[in-house]
Amino acid sequence: MTALAAALAVGLGALGAGIGNGLIVSKTVEGIARQPELKSSLQTTMFIGVGLVEAMPIIAVVIALLVM
């Protein structure tokens, strides 16, 4: 049962991160298409957002290891 809980935590964490990264990147590309002069500012904000979203699967892996 603990292995199932660990797999579920890691799987849902990865799923959420994938969806979140897709939304962040798509909105950034959309913003750059609308205002190309803000490209560097939008990319910086995008990389910060992606870094924050990627923390979720890392936390999920740690929790999964603690559960096991």
What's the predicted TM-score (pTM) here? 0.80
DSSP notation for 14-37: HHHHHHHHHHHHHHHHHHHHH-GG
Specify the pLDDT at position 35. 94
Q: How far apart are CA 61 and CA 68, in angstroms?
A: 11
Low-confidence ranges of the chain (pLDDT < 50): none
Specify the pLDDT at position 28. 96
